[in-house]
Structure 1
Amino acid sequence: MDTMRERFASVTSRLLEEDPRLAVVLADIGTAGFAEAAQRHPDRVVNVGIREQLLIGVGGGLALTGLRPILHTFASFLVERPFEQVKLDFGHQGVGGVLVSAGGSYDWPSGGFTHMSPGDVALLDTLDGWTVHVPGHPDEAETLLRHAASAGDDKVYVRLSAQANRAPRAVDGTGFRTLREGRGGVVVAVGPMLDHVLAATEGLEVTVLYATTVRPFDAAGLRAAADPAGSADVVLVEPYLAGTSTRFANEALEDRPHRLLGLGVGRQELRRYGQLDEHLAAHGLDPHGLRERITGFLAARR
């Protein structure tokens, strides 16, 4: 199976052939995947070098000319480092584009903290009007990338990851999907967290919702899954900063009694490189850690 990043390069290269409005902007990272596309479309595949603020500025400028820019690098270089440019060159200018990240929260541990971005989605939440997709499989990434590329002038963030679920699910760029139903609570699994959540909740009487589009937050979907007749217990399992979506879940259930647990990447920096699986376990996001925390949370009400 190819990775999400490999699928991104192949799909976007095909989209450049199909849609003359699309342009790709890179900052050295990922250029190999677009080598052929750059030869075929030198005016629409631009590498600005290791200049991430310029990456965003060029993308915003292309959008002002009427193009639909797709910008790509590691999440820490795409959202965190040039955040002022994201805020001004897209938001303030009132133009749209597609930011496609790699690296996630800790996909490349040996790259160190400079290449980790657990706070990217929370940071974008400080801005208005961003759609955020978090695919859990390369097939889902392709669907959501195509959706983002054709989304008019919307501002879209597609968060790719080295983590992937074993099988794809049907996604359409909108709300949550119900995979299991139960009366003991609701667990929302975001993107690549799904397989771990399904393993962690095996045998538990809970509803499992799968989320690959997290902004806008599917308030209606969460309300429909929560027990309207009693107190709702909700667990959010996200592959980025713990608690990133708790505000949206609380707002969705503000007229109902409910308890909420936000699971994700902790704020404490892990200063040993380790491996991806070790980072998952350290943050309690492996099946064992999730099982303990979810069952403990649900048992507390009883």
Structure 2
Amino acid sequence: MDTMRDRFAPVVSRLLDEDPRVAVVLAAIGTDGFAGATRRHPDRVVDVGIREQLLIGAAAGLALTGLRPVVHTFASFLVERPFEQVKLDLGHQEAGAVLVSAAASFDWPAGGYTHMAPGDVALLDTLDGWTVHVPGHPDEAETLLRHAVAAGDDKVYVRLSVQANGQALPVDGERFRTVREGRSGVVVAVGPMLDAVLAATEGLDVTVLYATTVRPFDGAALRRATEAGGTDVVLVEPYLAGTSTAAANDALSDVPHRLLGLGVGRRELRRYGRLEEHVAAHGLDARSLRERIAGFLGAAVRV
């Protein structure tokens, strides 16, 4: 199976051909994928070099002229390094753009901590008005990329990962999807966490919701799920643990409930290792998730 990032350049290249508003801004990373598009649209494919602050500033400038910029690099260089520009050049000026990241939380362990960004979504949560898509499969990534570019002049973040579920599900860029129904708790699986969550909850009497658009947070879907499936809620996110707990608590603010946020831990892992080892070290493999979910929900979850 190809990766989400494998889909990125072909999809956006087609959008460049289809829509004269679309522009692409790169920072030396991912340029090979746009070689053909650059020849066809040299005025709308811009490589600023290894200058991530300029990457965001240039995108904001293009947006202010009426274009729809799609901006791409590793998550740590797209959200964390140029955060002041994301906050001011885009947010303060109310300039829309589509930020498309790669490497997710720790997709490339050999790159070291400089190329890891488990806090990217939490950081964007300090700003107003961002839509955040977290696809779990390359097909979903393609759909959500098109949604993002078509979203008027909104500010959208699309978080791509080499981690992926085995099968794509229909996504609409808005709502959570009910994958499994139960009566003793609700587990929300975000993006590429779905397969591990389904394996971890096999035989447990829980509802599983699938979230590929996490901002805005679909509080209505969570409320409906808790009405039938119980008010113990577990969030399983592929980035910093607890990132969405505030949003979930807000959705259930008038309902007595318990909430557990699982995700990437704050402790820095200082050995490169392999991707799978990082997943396990953060307790996001199916076996670890089963222990943590069953332990939180208690014996009542067993069918």
Give the TM-score category using the shorter length: over 0.9
Matches within 5 A, 1:1-302: 1-227=1-227, 232-299=231-298
> Does the CA contact (< 8 Å) of 2:37 and 2:45 recur in 1?
yes
- Number of residue-to-residue matches in the alignment: 301
Inter-partner Cα distance in structure 2 for 1:110 and 1:231: 42
> Does the CA contact (< 8 Å) of 1:231 and 1:257 recur in 2?
no
Inter-partner Cα distance in structure 1 for 2:68 and 2:299: 49
Inter-partner Cα distance in structure 2 for 1:41 and 1:18: 11
CA offsets per residue over residues 91-138 of structure 1, 9 Å max, x none? 100110100000000000000000000000000000000000000000
> Does the CA contact (< 8 Å) of 1:231 and 1:259 recur in 2?
no
CA offsets per residue over residues 203-251 of structure 1, 9 Å max, x none? 10000000000000000000000036x9610000000000000000001
> Does the CA contact (< 8 Å) of 2:185 and 2:230 recur in 1?
no
Inter-partner Cα distance in structure 1 for 2:183 and 2:31: 49
Inter-partner Cα distance in structure 1 for 2:248 and 2:268: 26
TM-score for both structures, normalised by structure 2: 0.98
TM-score for both structures, normalised by structure 1: 0.98
Inter-partner Cα distance in structure 2 for 1:260 and 1:154: 31
> Does the CA contact (< 8 Å) of 1:136 and 1:165 recur in 2?
yes
Inter-partner Cα distance in structure 2 for 1:72 and 1:121: 16
Using the TM superposition, give the Cα deviation of residue 276 of structure 1 relative to its aligned residue in structure 2, in angstroms: 0.4
Which letter does structure 2 place at the counterpart of 1:243? G
What secondary structure, in the 3-state scheme, does the structure 1 residue paired with 2:271 have? Answer: coil
Inter-partner Cα distance in structure 2 for 1:37 and 1:4: 19
What secondary structure, in the 3-state scheme, does the structure 1 residue paired with 2:210 have? Answer: strand
For structure 2, list consecutive stretches of 5 or more residues without a partner in the other structure: none
What secondary structure, in the 3-state scheme, does the structure 2 residue paired with 1:227 have? Answer: helix
What secondary structure, in the 3-state scheme, does the structure 1 residue paired with 2:289 have? Answer: helix
Using the TM superposition, give the Cα deviation of residue 24 of structure 1 relative to its aligned residue in structure 2, in angstroms: 0.1
For structure 1, list consecutive stretches of 5 or more residues without a partner in the other structure: none
Inter-partner Cα distance in structure 2 for 1:178 and 1:301: 21
Q: Spell out structure 1 runs of 4+ moving beyond 6 A.
A: none
What secondary structure, in the 3-state scheme, does the structure 2 residue paired with 1:158 have? Answer: strand
Inter-partner Cα distance in structure 2 for 1:231 and 1:205: 10
What secondary structure, in the 3-state scheme, does the structure 2 residue paired with 1:24 have? Answer: strand
> Does the CA contact (< 8 Å) of 2:191 and 2:238 recur in 1?
yes
CA offsets per residue over residues 128-186 of structure 1, 9 Å max, x none? 00000000000000000000011000000000001010000000100100000000100
Inter-partner Cα distance in structure 2 for 1:300 and 1:282: 25
